[in-house]
Amino acid sequence: MELGLTGKTALVTGASRGIGLAIAQTLAAEGVRVVGAARTISPELEKVAAATVSADLATREGAVGIVDEAIQAVGGIDLLVNNVGGGDVDRLVIGGFLDIPDEQWQAVFDLNLFSAVWTTKAALPGIIERRGAIVNVSSVNAHVPAVGPVAYSEAKAAMTSFSKRLSEEVAPLGVRVNTVSPGVIGSSLWRDEKRFGGKLAEAFGVSHTDLLASIPEQFAIASGRIGEPEEVADLVAFLLSDRAANIHGADHVIDGGTLKVA
C-alpha cells in the first residue's frame, strides 16, 4: 500500500530503541525525513534519521527544545509521534498505592503525559499550518488501571483523554490526532532483563525467562503471543498517512486481543 508519506518530515520522541526506533525506521523507509529525539541517541537511530536530538523529555525545557531543533534541522514538522514513555527502572517502585512515593507519581506523569503535552504545544502551530498529523503512543494499561506500576496506567489514561480532547479542537483545522495503545510488546522494555521485565520478574520471584514465557497466558492474549515493535510502527505509519484521512480522535488498541471489552 502506497502511504504517500515521501517528502514529509516527522519528529519521533523516544526514538532510540523499541517502538520508537521501529517507528523511525518505518517512516524513513516510507521516505519521511525523521528527526529522532531521545535522551541517549543509539547508532541504530543515527542510521535512519535525518537528524537526531538528545534531550531529557521529562522536562519542559527538553520537550520544547527538541521541537526548535527539529524545525531548524528539517525546516518544519508535518508529523509528530509522541512515543517516549515508561521510566527509569532503577527509580521505579513496584508495589501498592501506599508503597509509592510522591516523586514517582510526578516523574511518571512528566515522562508519560506532560512530555507529550509540552512537545505538542510547541509543535502544533506549525503542524496546523501544514495540515499534518499527530499520533500519541499510549498503552493498553489506560484501559486496565489496576495493572502495571502505580501511576503508569493513570498517566496513560490521561494521555488517551488528552489526545481525544485535542482532536476535537484541531480536526476542523485539518489536523488529525489519534492514539495507539499497545499491549505487551517484545521490545527491550520487556526482553532486557535489566529493564522493566527483569525488575517485574524479580518482584514476582521468578526467572526473567519464565516471566516472558508466561505473559500470553497471564495476560489472556488471544493471539497467544506478545506483539512486536514493527507491528506497532506499521499502524502508526498508516495513521499518519492520508490513507487514514478521516480517522480522528480514535484510540487504536494493538494488544493481540488482551482487552476483552471494547
Catalytic machinery residues: 152
Q: What is the Cβ-side half-sphere exposure of residue 25, based on CA atoms within 13 angstroms?
A: 18
The region, left, alpha or beta by phi > 0 then psi within -120 to 50, assigned to residue 221 is beta
CA distances from 24 to 8, 131, 210, 224 (A): 13, 21, 31, 27
Q: Which residue has the cell 521501529?
A: 22
* Sign of the torsion angle spanned by Cα atoms 93, 226, 115, 29: positive
C-alpha dihedral (132, 138, 144, 145), degrees to nearest 10: -120
